[in-house]
Structure 1
Amino acid sequence: MHTLEDLKAGRLAGITRLDLACGLEQFPREIFDLADSLQVLNLTGNRLSDLPEDLGRLGKLKVLFCSQNRFRHLPESIGQCQTLEMVGFKSNQIEQVSGAALPPRLRALVLTDNRIERLPEALGDCPDLQKLMLAGNRLRALPASLARCSQLELLRLSANQLPALPEWLLQMPRLAWLAYAGNPMAAGYCTPQDPGHCNIIDWQQITLEQVVGQGASGVIHQARWQHQEAPVAVKVYKGEMTSDGLPLNEMSACIAAGDHPQLVRLAGRIDNHPQHLPALVMQLIEPSWFNLAGPPSLDSCTRDTYPPRRLSLACVRRLAGAIAGVGAHLHGHGITHGDLYAHNVLCDEEGDCLLGDFGAASFHPLDSSVAAAALQRIEVLAFGVLLGELLRCCEGDCEALKALQRDCVQPEVMRRPSFDEVCQQLRGV
C-alpha cells in the first residue's frame, strides 16, 4: 500500500500500480503526474464520491478499482479512458450507470453490491466485454443489447430482482460461468427452502482449532467434533454479499448436492452458533492436496493461471472423468456449479480430486425444457475450457480428448453434449 505523502512528494514516479487507501474524499491531482506509466489504479476503501472530469489524461490506465467508497453514480469520465479494460466499483451506493461511463475497450465490469435498477443499452456496444459482475443490485431486467456482447464469458446476476432469465442469454456463444441464485424466479430456478436432509450438529460438540481457509463467503477452521476421533472442518458463513451472491445460497447448494466421491463430504449443519451464524461441518482435506490452478489474473480476466507443471495423459484422463462425473451428478440434482474452474478443484499427485466453492451455484428445474438443457450446456462449456487447459499441460497426446474438447466449446449451445454424454465418451477414451 502506498502513502499520500509519498505521492505528493514525487517519490512514486514511474510506478505502474498505485494503491491508496487513506480516507480520501477527493481525487489527488498528483496522480496525473504518473500518467506516463500508471496502468493499475486502486482507490478501494476510501470516501470518494466522484472522479475528475479529465480522468482520460491517464493514457496508459488499464485497471481502475474504486470499491468500498461512496459513489452514487458511475463517473462518466471513466468512458474517456481509451486504454481502460477493467473497472471495479463493488460495494458503493451506485444507482445510476450512464452509457457514457463505459470505456471503449472494456473487458471486465464489477458493480457488485450496489443499488442499480437499470443498465444502459450502450453496454451492448462493448465488443470486448468478457466479465460482468452484477450480484447484489436491484435489476429487474437486462438490456437486450447485451446479446451483442459475443465475447461475454462470466456473468454474475445473483441477488437481484430478475423474474426470469431472457432467452437470448441462454444462447450466448461464449458464456461459461453464470450465477443467478437469489432472484424471484419460478420455483425450479430458486434456491429451495428445504435443500434436503442434513444432520443437525450441536455447537457445544465442536471445538474450533486453527483457521485453514478463508474466502469471501466465510472462514474454515480445523475443529474437533465429539462424535468423531478424526478432525473435521467447520465453515462459518459470513452474512455479506460476495462477488458471486449470498452465502446462504452457497450453503443450501452444498446441502442439496448430496454425496459424491468428488465432493467434500458433509457431516452436518450447525444451527445454534453463538453469534447465530450459519455453519457446516465437513470433511477435513489433507494439507498435501493443492489447487489445480490459480485464479484468473488481471491480464487473463476470465482464465485460470497455471504453474509450470506437466501432467501425464493418464492424470488428465482421470481428472477429466472425475470433473465431468461430478458435473453430471450436480446437474442430476438440479444444480449448476456456476464456477467450474480448475482453481476450485483440489487434487493430489495421483489425480484424485474434489470440486469445491459453491458460491456461484444456482438451481434449475429437473425437466425437459430447453432452458434447463441450455443452462447445463453453458456449464459444459466451462468444462471444455478446463479440459483444454489440462490438455495444454499434458505430456501426452490424445485425439479423442481433443475432439471431445472441441464439442464442448462449440458456440452453438444446444449442440454441445450434456455431462452424461461427456462421461459416456470419456469411458471410451
Structure 2
Amino acid sequence: MEHTLAALRAGDLAGARALNLSGADLSEVPPEIFGLSETLEVLDIGATRISALPAEFSRLKKLKVLFASGAPFRRLPEVLGDCPALSQVGFRGCGIEAVPAEALPPALRWLTLTDNRIETLPPGLGERPLLQKVMLAGNRLDALPDSLAGAKSLELLRVAANRLPALPGWLAELPALAWLAWAGNPFDTAVTEALVPPVAWRDLALGKALGRGASGDVFEVSWKDRPAALKLFRGTMTSDGLPEREMAACLAAGEHPNLTGALGRVVGHPDGAEGLLMPLLPDGWRVLAGPPSAQSC
C-alpha cells in the first residue's frame, strides 16, 4: 500500500476509480485524494490510524464504496451523509460507539458495522429507500429502530451477539428479507451442544486451501484416512456473530440432503483458532453463486 500512497502523492493516479490504502501508515486522509473527486468510486482506508474524516470529504461526489474497517473511529463520520452517491459503507471492528443520524448517506444500500460498541441506532435508518443489507453483529444493541419496519428492500439483517431481549414482530412482515442472523442475544436460549465427539487438531493432515469467506478459511484435510473439509474461523466475532454459535447450529442440524453437514468441532489448534470439520463436497459440484459485489450488493 505504501507504493500506492507514493503514487497518489506523486500525482500518478489521475483518473483512478478505485484506491486501496488499507494498511498504509496514515493518520489522516491524504489531501491528494481530492484530486480524484471527479472519478473516485471505491476507497479503502481500513487498518490505518485514520480516526476522522475532513469536511471536504463530501467533495468525492462519485464515491460509491467506502471501507474503513479496523481504523480507530469512535463515531460514524457525519460527513458521509453529504456524499450523494455513497451506497456501501463498511466500518467493521473500529470501536465505534455512536452512529449519528447525519452520517447515513441518502443512497445507502449496504451498511457494515460489525464488531463495534454501538448501543443505539438513529431512528431514521429504515428511511433509506435503497437499504438492502445491514450488518450489526457484535455490538451492544438492545433495540432496533422501528423505521426498519418500512425498509421494503431490506434483504439481509445480521444482529447476532447483541443485547436484544426479543426480535421485533415486524421482521416477519418485511417482504424482501431473506437472511436473518440473531444467535447470541439474551433471548437465544435454545441452542444446545450436539452429542458429537470433538475432533483433535493433531488427527488432521492439512491440505490445500479451498476457499475464503467473510468469517473464515476452508482447507482440504485428511481425517481418519478420509478426505474432509475444515473451516478455520478468523477471530472471535464473525459477520453472523459468534463462531461457537455457528458451529453448534451446524452440528445440531444433523443430516439432510440439502445440507453439507458437519463432522465435529475441532479442538487443540496451536493458535487457539475455532474450527469445524465438514464433509468434502464432490469434485463435480459447481458453485451456484459468487461473492457479493458493489453492483449485486
TM-score category (smaller protein): over 0.9
Matches within 5 A, 1:406-417: none
Closer, same or farther in 2 for the Cα pair 1:206/1:48, shift >3 Å? same
**Alpha-carbon contact 1:124-1:146 (below 8 Å) kept:** yes
Highest CA radius of gyration, 1 or 2? 1
Report the counterpart of residue 235 of structure 2 in structure 1. Answer: 239
Counterpart of 1:15, as a letter, is: A
Residue of structure 2 equivalent to 1:193: 192
| Structure 2 partner of 1:41 | 43
Q: Deviations over 1:122-171 (max 9, x none)?
A: 21321211111111111010111222222111111011111100111221
Please show how residues 17-56 of structure 1 align to structure 2 within 5 Å.
17-21=18-22, 22-56=24-58
Q: Cα deviation per residue 1:373-393 (whole Å; 9 max; x = unaligned)?
A: xxxxxxxxxxxxxxxxxxxxx
**Mapping of residues 21-100 of structure 1, within 5 Å:** 21=22, 22-100=24-102
Unmatched tracts of structure 1, length 5 or more? 302-429
Match of residue 217, structure 1, among 211, 215, 232:
215
Pick closer, same or farther for the CA change 1:247–1:79 going to 2, 3 Å: same
Amino acid at match of 2:15: G
Change (3 A) 1:273 1:63: closer
Residue 255 of structure 1 is matched in structure 2 by 251
Matched, 1:155 2:153: no
Amino acid at match of 1:258: G
Whole-Å separation in 2 of the counterparts to 1:186 and 1:42: 35
Partner SS, residue 146 of structure 1: helix
Q: CA deviation at 1:215?
A: 3.0
Matched-pair contact (CA < 8 Å) for 2:267–2:274? yes
Deviation at 1:278, TM superposition (A): 3.5
Q: CA, structure 1 residues 269+96, in 2 after alignment: closer, same or farther (shift >3 Å)?
A: closer
* Pick aligned residue for 1:103 from 98, 102, 105: 105
Instruction: Output the CA distance in 2 between the equivalents of 1:94 and 1:31.
Output: 24
Does residue 15 (structure 1) correspond to residue 27 (structure 2)? The answer is no
* AA in 1 matched with 2:192: Q
Aligned-partner Cα distance in 1 for 2:232–2:67: 28
Percent identity of equivalent pairs: 52
Do the aligned residues in 2 keep the contact of 1:147 with 1:172 (CA within 8 Å)? yes
Q: Is the 8 A contact 1:124 1:145 kept in 2?
A: yes
Q: How much is the aligned-residue C-alpha RMSD, in angstroms?
A: 1.9
Which residue in the other structure is 1:124 paired with? 126
CA distance in 2, matches of 1:45, 1:186: 33
CA deviations 1:186-243 (Å, max 9, x no partner) are 534xxx132x2213334443322333333343333322223xx332223333433122
Structure 2 residue 185 is matched with structure 1 residue 183? yes
SS at structure 1 position matched to 2:219: strand
Q: For 2:172 and 2:214, locate their aligned partners in 1 and report how far apart those are by CA, in whole Å.
A: 27
Q: 1:23 to 1:193 in 2, by over 3 A?
A: farther
TM-score normalised over the length of structure 1 = 0.65
Is the CA contact 1:217–1:240 (under 8 Å) kept in the aligned structure 2?
Answer: no
1:297 aligned partner: 293
- Report the residue type matching 2:145 in the other structure: P
The AA in structure 2 aligned to 1:292 is L
Instruction: State the one-letter code of the partner of 1:105.
Output: A
**1:23·1:45 contact (CA, 8 Å) conserved in 2?**
no
Report 1:388-407 matches (<5 A).
Answer: none
1:207 maps to 205
Structure 1 letter corresponding to 2:250: C
Q: Larger % of helix: which?
A: 1
Q: Residue 285 of structure 1 aligns to a residue in which SS?
A: coil
Query: Cα gap change, 1:82/1:270 in structure 2, threshold over 3 Å: closer, same or farther?
Result: closer
Q: Distance in 1 between matches of 2:271 and 2:54?
A: 43
- The alpha-carbon deviation at position 81 of structure 1 amounts to 0.7
Supply the distance in 1 between the matched residues of 2:169 and 2:253 (Cα, whole angstroms).
26
- Note the C-alpha offset of 1:182: 0.9
**1:239-263 Cα shifts (integer Å, max 9, x gaps):** 3312222211111111011012232
Task: Determine if the alignment matches structure 1 residue 142 to structure 2 residue 144.
Answer: yes
Deviations 1:344-366 (A, max 9, x none): xxxxxxxxxxxxxxxxxxxxxxx
Q: Distance in 1 between matches of 2:79 and 2:288?
A: 40
Rounded Cα–Cα distance in structure 1 between residues aligned with 2:113 and 2:92 = 5
Distance 1:122 1:282, change over 3 A: closer
Q: Which residue of 1 aligns with 2:170?
A: 168
Q: Which residue of the other structure, out of 277, 282, 294, is the alignment partner of 1:281?
A: 277
Q: Give the secondary-structure state (helix, strand or coil) at the position aligned to 1:219.
A: strand
**What residue ranges of structure 2 are gaps of 5+ in the alignment?**
none
Alignment of 1:304-319 (within 5 A): none
Corresponding letter in the other structure for 1:205: D
Matched AA of 1:70: P
Secondary structure class of the residue paired with 1:118: coil
